[in-house]
Amino acid sequence: MSSRYVAAVLGSACIGALPAYGQEAARPAETLAPLEVSAESDGNKREKGYQPLTASTATRTDARILDVPQSIAVVPKQVLVDQQVRTLDEALRNVSGITQANTLGGTQDAVMKRGFGDNRDGSILRDGFRTALPSNFSATTDRVEVLKGPSSMLYGVLDPGGVVNIITKRPELQQRGTVSVNGTSFNGGGATADITGPIGDNGFAYRFIGDYQDNDYWRNFGTVQRSLVAPSLAWYGEKTTVNVAYEHSEYKIPFDRGTIIDIRTGKPVAIPRERRLDESYNITRGRTDLVTLNVEHALNESWRVRLGGLYNQNWYFDNQARVLVFNNTTGATFNPVTGAVNRRADATQDSNIEQQVLRAELLGKFGLFGFRNELLTGVEYDSTDTLRTNLIRGPNNTSFNIYNPVYGTLPASTNISAPDSDQTERIKTASVFVQDSLHLTDQFIVVGGVRYQSYEQFAGKGRPFKTNTDAEGSKAIPRIGAVYKIRPDVSLYVDYSQSFKPNSNIASFIGSQPPEQGRSYEAGVKVETINGITATAAFFDIVKSNVLYSEVINGTTYTRTAGRVGSRGFEFDIAGRLSDHWSVIGAYSYIDAVVLEDPTLRGKQLNNVARHTASAFLTYDFGTMFNGQLRAGIGERYVGARAGDANNTFFLPEYFLTDAFISYRTTYNNLPVTWQLNAKNIFDKTYYPSGISTTVVAIGDPREVTLQARVEF
The DSSP-derived string for 336-350 is TTT-EEEEEEEEEEE
The pLDDT of residue 22 is: 32
Helix (H, G, I), strand (E, B) or coil at 316: strand
The pLDDT of residue 147 is: 96
Per DSSP bridges, beta strands 204-216 and 223-236 are: antiparallel
Averaged confidence pLDDT in the chain: 90
The pLDDT of residue 551 is: 57
> Which residues does 449 contact at the CB level (< 8 Å), separation at least 6?
153, 154, 376, 433, 434, 435, 436, 478, 479, 480
* CATH code matching the domain that covers 54-321+360-395+412-712, chosen among 3.30.413.10, 2.40.170.20, 3.90.1210.10, 1.10.287.610: 2.40.170.20
Which one is predicted more confidently, 5 or 656?
656
> Which residues does 91 contact at the CB level (< 8 Å), separation at least 6?
75, 80, 85, 137, 141, 144
Encode pLDDT of 676-706 as tens digits: 999 999 999 999 999 999 999 999 999 999 9
Query: How far are the Cα atoms of 500, 506, 510 from residue 452, in angstroms, in the given order?
Result: 11, 26, 25
pLDDT level of residue 508 (50, 70, 90 thresholds):
confident
Q: pTM surpassing 0.85?
A: yes
Contact between 62 and 37 (Cβ < 8 Å): no
Helix (H, G, I), strand (E, B) or coil at 60: coil
Encode pLDDT of 248-261 as tens digits: 999 999 999 999 99
Encode pLDDT of 47-69 as tens digits: 888 999 888 888 887 788 999 99
pLDDT level of residue 574 (50, 70, 90 thresholds):
very high
The pLDDT of residue 34 is: 33
Encode pLDDT of 360-382 as tens digits: 999 999 999 889 999 999 999 99
d(CA 91, CA 144): 8
Residue 397 clears pLDDT 60, i.e. is over it = yes
Of 110, 115, 258, which is closest to residue 686 (Cα–Cα)? Answer: 258
Question: Domain extents for the chain?
Answer: 54-321+360-395+412-712
Of 58, 27, 55, which is closest to residue 42 (Cα–Cα)? Answer: 55
Q: For the chain, how far is it from start to end, CA to CA, in angstroms?
A: 25
Per DSSP bridges, beta strands 162-168 and 124-126 are: parallel
Least confident of 213-222, 489-498, 553-562: 553-562
Residue 15 clears pLDDT 70, i.e. is over it = no
In percent, the amount of the chain with pLDDT more than 70 equals: 91
Contact between 157 and 427 (Cβ < 8 Å): yes
Of 566, 549, 567, which is closest to residue 558 (Cα–Cα)? Answer: 549
Least confident of 95-104, 346-355, 506-515: 506-515
Residue 7 clears pLDDT 60, i.e. is over it = no
Contact between 497 and 33 (Cβ < 8 Å): no
Helix (H, G, I), strand (E, B) or coil at 67: helix
Encode pLDDT of 636-662 as tens digits: 999 999 999 999 999 999 999 999 999
pLDDT level of residue 560 (50, 70, 90 thresholds):
low
Q: Is 610 exposed, middle or buried (0-12, 13-18, 19+ CB in 10 A)?
A: buried
Of 525, 439, 438, which is closest to residue 489 (Cα–Cα)? Answer: 525
Mean pLDDT of 661-666: 97
The pLDDT of residue 493 is: 98
Residue 25 clears pLDDT 60, i.e. is over it = no
The pLDDT of residue 514 is: 85
